[in-house]
Structure 1
Amino acid sequence: MSGPYRYSSGIKRTFHAADYAVTGATLLISALIGVYYAIKDRKKNTPEDYLLGGRKMHVIPVSMSLLSSFISAITIMGVPAEVYTYNTMYWWTSIAMIVAAVGSAHIFIPVFYKLGITSIFEYIEMRFGRVNRMVACSIFMLWMIFYMSFVMYAPSLAINAVTGLSLQGSMLVVSLVCIFYTAIGGMKAVLWADTVQMCFVFAGVICILVQTSLIVGGFDKAWEIASKNNRIVFFELNTDPRHRHTVWNMVVGGGIFTCTVFGTNQAQIQRVLSVSSLSKAKLTVWLNVLGITAITTLSVMVGVAMYAFYATCDPVSFGLVQRNDQLFPLLVMDTLGDLPGLPGLLLSCLFSGSLSTISSGLNAIAAVMLEDYVKPHCCKEMNSRFHTMLSKVSVIVIGLVSLAFAILVAELGTLMLQLVNLLFGVLGGPILGIFTLGMLFPWANKWGALLGILSSLALDSWIVFGTYMHRVSVTLPSPLSTEGCNWNISSNATLAPPSVAAFAASGSTSVYDKYTGVDKIYSISYVWYAGLAVLTNVVVGVIISFLTGPTKPETLNPKLVCPVFDIFFPWLPNKCLHFLRFGVRHERVYEQETLQLTKDRKSVSLELNAQMRYDNIGAEINSQPVKTKLSEVIVSDDEEPPLMQHKYENKCRIRKPSDSQLVTKF
């Protein structure tokens, strides 16, 4: 590294005034977006506008918002730290995302979209009753509050590392800015702020990757250094589920826990439901796959370059930072600290990642509070303005509660990335399990669903607490070097140089052979927690349902069950498909693909595309789009009126030519 500065001397660079100014400007941009939409939409006070953007949002900002909800500061800081500490196996989460996208876009989202709901937990009540809905809502609320706490903590950890500003002060700034623009701007502010913030994230990650690679002699040189020290590992094929990261763990187990985010998480589904058609909703998910693959790959590459940069002097052992999660901001300062303003711009990507995730979570919790707690129990007769105000108050209250939990999170000492993935498994897994039980197993009843979700939550919680109480660890971090540290002139550490070999002859050390009895269960890899929860939920749910009297599939509303074989195996004979529907009457289901009202000066144009999937013998029928400039759509005598999913201000009607009375009004 050229120039007089050497991090190995024990001296840290800190923020310049220009860096503070740039970081502050980033926060100000997000706040101004909220102010803009608060003014622009001040006359639109319906919950649908506030929580779903009027269901008219564009695919691109929705896709960017989906991406930002998943890619937080935890990812930006955590993935490079994961590579630095262990190896590159985490990259396989990109492939796991494909597995999750298949389940999300083609199983869960179509069901939610066709029901026209705001909160996905409305489905739980339709399928399993009020009690199960409240249980699932409570688990979700706990999940998101803890998750947002981690996300608030992550950028504060970074700022603390490079500025000395207290963790509590940093968290207070991040949370207040996010609460402000989410509360006043609603969904539209969240989506467009997320889009701007993700641009900062991509720019920041690419910039630090290029600069670090140049300093170490090119990315090929960084790859060579990391490879020599066992950080480049992609094909760990061990089938033992206790092994921390393997191809099978990451693709299968990782695919399931990723589906907890993109398939049955209110924060994600709420964004998907804000577009105008089901086809666009599916497109947003697949565009998101590309974004996650890109940012995960870039973050892994940053981890490789970061390891090469610190290969001979580990900053944690040297006392420059306290945790590996602080290495990314330290790297920014070490490589770009002599350029005032640029470190502030790059660290803004951490703020951006956190702001977008927190705002998505707050908006989702506001929807859940209104649709699942307020409307079903009280205030039903209140107007839309009152409901919107309640949503805004919910954002503020939950934001402050999350801030309080974030202060507690600061006391934990494990890699944030692993803690968050663990959280997805323990709390997200049971939620994914109950939706899987409801949509794919038509025999399941309310008792099976209730005992299924509670047993899966109990099992995962027992394993997690047992793991931490017994201090079970399956894979030890790879050894690090301190041979290049100048311990004689360091002003940071009072400890002696650790007795660590200059470089390890092998990578991660497996220790699972020493565990016996119940410790073998505790040693299961954290990436399987979500899959274990889903399996437990389904098995217990089906067994209890048959013991207490299974639901008769023919009595179910077919919109509540996913015709999974029709979707993935449409080439099967009709008789076979009919059998594989297990008695659910999908034959008379109408699918509405698009519904769009367009105003012009003198008339209302209604475009309706109603598709009847199957007739009584299972043959597929596709009706042609009906276009008219009249206020009335006429259907034939043997057709049923298409199912309308959304409410519009314009009144249109559908009638049969033999009946002069109004059939459907929407």
Structure 2
Amino acid sequence: MQESEFDWTEGERGSFSWLDYVVFGGMLVLSLAIGIFYAFRSRKKSNDEFLLGSRSLSCFPVSMSLLASYISAIIVLGGPAEAYYHSVQWWVVCLSQVALPVVAGVFMPVFYELRLTSIYEYLELRYSSRAVRCVAGGMFVIQMLLYQAVVIYAPALALASVSDYPLWASVVSVGLIASFYTAIGGLKAVIWTDVLQLFILIAGLICIILKGTFDVGGFSYIWDTAVRNGRAGSQIFTYGYHPTQRHTVANIVIGAFVSKLYGYACAQTAVQRYSSMKSLTHAHLSIYLLIPFYTLIVSLTMIAGLVMFATYEGCDPLAAGLITKKDQILPFYVMDRLSSIPGLPGLFVACIFSGSLSTISSGVNSQAAVTWEDVFSRRPGCASLSKTTQAWITNTCLALGITWAASFKEPSPSPPVSGAILAVFVMGLFLPFANSKGAMAALIIGTIISQVFGLGPIILDMNPELLPTSTDLCPANLTLPTTSGTPISVSELPYPQKLLGLSYTQIAPLGFVVAFAVGIFTSFITGGSKGLQVERRLVHPWVRWSLPDPNKISAKSRLIPMTN
């Protein structure tokens, strides 16, 4: 690679052309058109049609919507940066999809047969406690609001880095567009826009990879460069379970396994979708279809990272001070290397926005169901409102909340509540003696512990160590920034600070274990389910044998003679 390839001068990098704006705007117009279409088509339909698509949807669009709901702009931007600066070891997250057959075979049959609009209604039925339902539902809504704020901020930052479009305008437009077509079109609009946006996302990544591979001379050069610099090859994989190490194969798989169990088994976003299916068979297929498509997208992000590293092997933009954060490497690469093809930067931004819009619309739709069912529906005068009015009330509140959260300069990630919520559902399904006191204690203590350890890296001011990069071929007229020292290593920390250095991948498993243990202990010391009639349909078939058969109870009661 020649030095001239890194001749960055003022004004030389590409910018948005009119065709780029057309490509990007076309994606937004199509998304709005789908929402308007379903708004007119279902304007006289019931709330069941609006929130659950009349429970008549087929497996493919729902599967793509499920995938799009969790493949956000964070992964599209962060995946390539991960491969570039840390290696492709993160690809083993695909192995965590062994959780999906567990979801399909264990959790899905119970929840599908209950036909619930809000999954948190299950907690009220199972534990006979509206408080448990409201706390879990509230945690979900708050988590999604904060997560969506990050999801909005990522594409807004990407667009601001390649055009003159203001950051605040991006934040507002993404939030309002997603909320608008979600509010008027309901679940069907969300699902079909998710399908559109998912394929735009895939197309954008493929175009970037193909153009980049051609420019550097082929994939063999890309792979050889990655192996030579510790980005790929069998030597990069670290085995064994080390909770304080950022990434090992075991850490990634265990952490992602728990997160996927929560995300697809007991999060409103997923349960609402497979509750909308024609049959349980279609619901099963929608889960299994996720596996190849998720693997494809993760693989594309890893390959994109290797393509960029092969391009900038001699002059890393982050080390050269041309970008300030590693997640900016993909937008920088697109404008630096691919802007010569009109429309490709626009496709890239459409790709990023597609990742965000799909996540936001799915989140808003699921939050609307939870907010309405768990909060507004029991208010006097609210139950009689039309579906359109209900949608506008809930979605407007959520849109304002998301936009407000995203307006901060750097929104924080969502709170780590997944482990605690998963534990409460597992207790409800498999431990008939678990009671509301145990469930509430599990939710609160599990979330607090997870939050404390989740904030550990912030408290200790820790940043992950990056693999070595080079500036040897940077232009002589480029002023290189001075380094600010080496990152703090967890192994160098004394106790108890070392405990706060827990890998981010282990926050969800920690929350689950703590919440599950606390829930069992609290239920045991408070009398279990004594005096509480647990319905057989609310526990898993594997443990129904431990509950009395209501048919036998009623038969015995008829044999007891009446006394005068």
More deviation in 260-269 or 49-58? Answer: 260-269
* Shift in Å, 1:192: 0.7
Specify the code of the residue in structure 1 equivalent to 2:165: L
Unaligned runs of 5+ in 2: 556-564
Per-residue displacement from partner, 1:322-345 (whole Å, max 9, x unpaired)? Answer: 221111122222332111112212
Once the two structures are TM-superposed, the CA of residue 261 in structure 1 deviates from its matched residue by 1.4
The CA distance in 1 between the partners of 2:325 and 2:548, in whole Å, is 56
CA shift, 1:377, in A, is 4.1
TM alignment of 1:83-94, pairs within 5 A: 83-94=83-94
Q: Distance in 1 between matches of 2:2 and 2:338?
A: 12
Residue in 1 that maps onto 2:293: 291
Q: Spell out, residue by residue over 1:305-334, the C-alpha distance to the aligned partner (whole angstroms, 9 max, x if none).
A: 111111111212323222211111222223
Q: Which of the pair is proportionally richer in helix?
A: 2
Match in the other structure for 1:61: 61
Q: CA deviation at 1:110?
A: 1.7
**Residue 289 and residue 544 in structure 1: after superposition, are their counterparts in 2 closer, same or farther (change >3 A)?**
same
Distance 2:510 2:540 in 1: 22
**CA distance in 1: counterparts of 2:7 and 2:47, whole angstroms:** 52
* Equivalent residue, structure 1, for 2:560: none
Alignment of 1:175-324 (within 5 A): 175-232=175-232, 235-324=237-326
Counterparts in 2 of 1:509 and 1:168: CA distance versus 1, 3 Å: closer
Shift of 1:227: 1.4
**CA–CA distance in 2 between the matches of 1:146 and 1:9?**
38
What is the rounded CA distance, in whole Å, between the counterparts of 2:399 and 2:195 in structure 1? 21
TM-score by length of 1: 0.78
Instruction: Find 1:479's aligned residue among 464, 468, 471.
Output: 468
Find the aligned partners of 2:7 and 2:75 in 1 and give their Cα distance.
25
* Match among 444, 465, 468 for residue 455 of structure 2: 465
Equivalent residues of 2:244, 2:502 under 8 A apart: yes
Greater percentage in strand: 1
1:349-428 aligned within 5 A: 349-379=351-381, 382-383=383-384, 385-408=385-408, 410-411=409-410, 420=413, 423=414, 426-428=416-418
Alignment of 1:21-40 (within 5 A): 21-40=22-41
1:444 matches 2:410? no
Q: Give the length in aligned residue pairs.
A: 549
Residue 498 of structure 2 corresponds to residue 520 of structure 1: yes
The answer to whether the Cα contact below 8 Å between 2:462 and 2:487 also exists between their aligned partners in 1 is no
CA distance in 2, matches of 1:553, 1:432: 25
Q: Structure 2 CA distance, aligned partners of 1:528 and 1:229?
A: 28
Q: Does the CA contact (< 8 Å) of 1:216 and 1:309 recur in 2? A: yes
Residue aligning to 1:336: 338
> In the aligned structure 2, how far is the partner of 1:436 from the partner of 1:586?
22
Does the CA-based 8 Å contact 1:237-1:247 persist in structure 2? yes
Q: Which moved more, 1:333-342 or 1:266-275?
A: 333-342
Is the contact between residue 553 and residue 584 of structure 1 (CA under 8 Å) also seen in structure 2?
no
Question: Secondary structure of 1:137's partner?
Answer: helix
Assess if the C-alpha contact under 8 Å between 1:479 and 1:500 holds in 2.
no
Per-residue CA deviation, residues 402-437 of structure 1 (Å, 9 max, x unaligned), is 0111121x336xxxxxx75xx37x122221121112
The letter of the residue matching 1:440 is F
- Shift of residue 145, structure 1, vs aligned partner: 0.2
Matched, 1:531 2:523: no
Residue 109 of structure 1: how far off its partner (Å): 2.0
Match of 1:95 in 2: 95
1:62 is displaced (CA, Å) by 0.5
Cα distance in 2 between the residues matched to 1:153 and 1:525: 24
2:108 maps to a residue whose letter is I
Judged with a 3 Å threshold, the aligned counterparts in structure 2 of structure 1 residues 271 and 81 are, in CA distance, closer, same or farther, namely: same
Q: Return the alpha-carbon distance in structure 2 between the equivalents of residues 105 and 587 of structure 1.
A: 28
Deviation of 1:127 (Å)? 1.3
One-letter code aligned to 2:366: A
Work out whether residues 149 and 402 of structure 2, in 8 Å CA contact, stay in contact via their aligned partners in 1. Answer: yes
Q: Which amino acid aligns with 1:386?
A: S
For 2:223 and 2:22, the matched residues in 1 are separated by 35
Query: Is the CA contact (8 Å cut-off) linking 2:179 and 2:395 kept in structure 1?
Result: yes
Name the counterpart of 1:641.
none
Report if aligned partners of 1:241, 1:525 keep a CA contact under 8 Å in 2. yes
Query: Equivalent residue for 1:659?
Result: none
Give the deviation of 1:104 after TM superposition: 2.0
| Correspondence 1:541 to 2:519 | yes
- Please tell me whether the aligned partners of residues 80 and 328 of structure 1 are also in contact (alpha carbons under 8 angstroms): yes
Bigger shift: residues 251-260 or 123-132 = 251-260
Residue equivalent to 2:421: 431
The 3 A distance-change label for structure 1 pair 235 and 316 is: closer
TM-score under structure 2 length normalisation: 0.92
Indicate the residue corresponding to 2:122 in structure 1: 123
**Does the C-alpha gap of structure 1 residues 310 and 57 become closer, same or farther in structure 2, counting only changes over 3 Å?**
same
Do the aligned partners of 1:235 and 1:246 also contact (CA within 8 Å) in 2?
A: yes
**Partner deviation per Cα, 1:236-287 (whole Å, 9 max, x = no partner):** 1032111111111111122102222112211121111111111211211111
CA distance in 1, matches of 2:220, 2:349: 25
* Separation in structure 2 between the aligned mates of residue 315 and residue 132 of structure 1, nearest angstrom: 49
- The runs of 4+ residues in structure 1 deviating greater than 6 Å are 1-5
**One-letter code of the match for 1:252?**
I
Q: Show CA shifts across 1:438-494 (max 9, x none).
A: 112211111011111100011111122333112245x51112211221141x4xxxx
Segment of structure 1 superposing worse, 451-460 or 335-344: 335-344
Q: Is the 8 A contact 2:63 2:286 kept in 1?
A: yes
Distance in 2 of aligned mates of 1:510 and 1:243: 12
Separation of aligned partners in 2, 1:110 and 1:282? 9
Structure 1 residues 513 and 2 mapped into 2: Cα distance closer, same or farther (>3 Å)?
A: closer
How far did 1:511 drift? 2.6
Aligned to 1:572: none
- Matched to 2:19, the amino acid is A
Deviations 1:532-583 (A, max 9, x none): 11111110000011100011599421211123xx4xxxxxxxxxxxxx6561
Name the % identity: 35
Post-superposition Cα deviations, 1:8-54, rounded to whole Å, max 9, x if no partner, equal: 4464211111111111111111011111111111221x211111111
Alpha carbons 2:315, 2:472 under 8 Å: kept? yes
Seen in structure 2, the aligned counterparts of structure 1 residues 5 and 470 have a Cα distance that, compared at 3 Å, is closer
Aligned counterparts of 1:486 and 1:228: Cα–Cα separation in 2: 23
Q: Which has the larger radius of gyration?
A: 1
Asked if structure 1 preserves the Cα contact closer than 8 Å seen for 2:184 and 2:391, the reply is no
AA aligned to 1:486 is P
Counterpart secondary structure, 2:375: helix
**Counterpart-to-counterpart distance in 2, 1:68 and 1:436:** 26
Whether the 8 Å contact between 2:318 and 2:325 is mirrored in structure 1 is: yes
Q: Which amino acid aligns with 2:220?
A: D
2:462–2:488: 8 Å Cα contact kept in structure 1?
Answer: no
Alpha-carbon displacement from aligned partner over 1:184-222 (angstroms, at most 9, x marks no partner): 111111111111111111111111111111111211211
Opposite residue 150 of structure 1, the aligned amino acid is: V
